[in-house]
Structure 1
Amino acid sequence: MIRQRVIVHGRVQAVGFRFSARVEAQRLGVSGWIKNRSDGAVEAEIEGEAAAVDAMLSWLDEGPPGADVTSMSTADLAPTGERGFRVMS
């Protein structure tokens, strides 16, 4: 199990990014959360098997239709054992 913190920049708010990310996370079987930041970016923590986390990171780097991701940064975190994927406000 691995966990990553992700910050996604670009046109990522008001395009259904968080809710689409939740659907993708559930499809891939990863846990964590995603939220909008006050600076216009989206922040998430993703936990799961390495291949599933990598697939989720690839999805976040593109986003849903209507999003325009300009950059993304990641940082390794210690896994927490969190279950489920939440959209936070």
Structure 2
Amino acid sequence: MDTLDDSAARLTAWVHGRVQGVGFRWWTRARACELGLRGYARNLADGRVEVVAEGARESCDRLLELLRSGGAPGTVELVVDRWTAAKGNLAGFVER
């Protein structure tokens, strides 16, 4: 990955609800790619989906808005987010 500028951020979001087996990770990947973000979406054993995205802070903010918007497949009940500095160790956006 190229060097990140000062506006780069890392969003980690834990999405609660009926979000596994409904195309949620695929939908998240598509939105993240449209926004030019790098990272992944993966199912967790407890039924949540973890989304890690890096890129411009504004793009990460938009992805978080989309995750909370009600437009995603399944039923999102809650999204818990954490912001940290971008690490620059992600390539592309994948479903895990």
In structure 2, the CA distance between the partners of 1:63 and 1:14, relative to structure 1 (3 Å rule), is farther
Instruction: State whether residues 17 and 63 of structure 1, in contact with CA within 8 Å, keep that contact through their aligned partners in structure 2.
Output: no
Letter in 1 for 2:78: S
- Higher share of residues assigned helix: 1
Q: Find the counterpart in structure 1 of residue 13 from structure 2.
A: 6
Bigger radius of gyration:
2
Q: Find the counterpart in structure 2 of residue 86 from structure 1.
A: 94
Superposed CA RMSD: 1.2
| Residues matched between the structures, number | 87
TM-score (norm 1): 0.90
Aligned-partner Cα distance in 1 for 2:94–2:54: 12
Give the CA deviation at 1:63.
Answer: 4.8
Gaps of at least 5 residues in structure 2 are: 1-7
Give the CA deviation at 1:83.
Answer: 2.5
Give the CA deviation at 1:6.
Answer: 0.6
Aligned-partner Cα distance in 1 for 2:15–2:22: 13
> After the TM superposition, which parts of structure 1 deviate over 6 Å for at least 4 consecutive aligned residues?
none
Verify: 1:53 aligned to 2:60, yes or no.
yes
TM-score (norm 2): 0.84
Aligned-partner Cα distance in 2 for 1:21–1:75: 17
Gaps of at least 5 residues in structure 1 are: none
Give the CA deviation at 1:14.
Answer: 1.0
In structure 2, the CA distance between the partners of 1:37 and 1:63, relative to structure 1 (3 Å rule), is farther
Matched-pair identity in %? 38
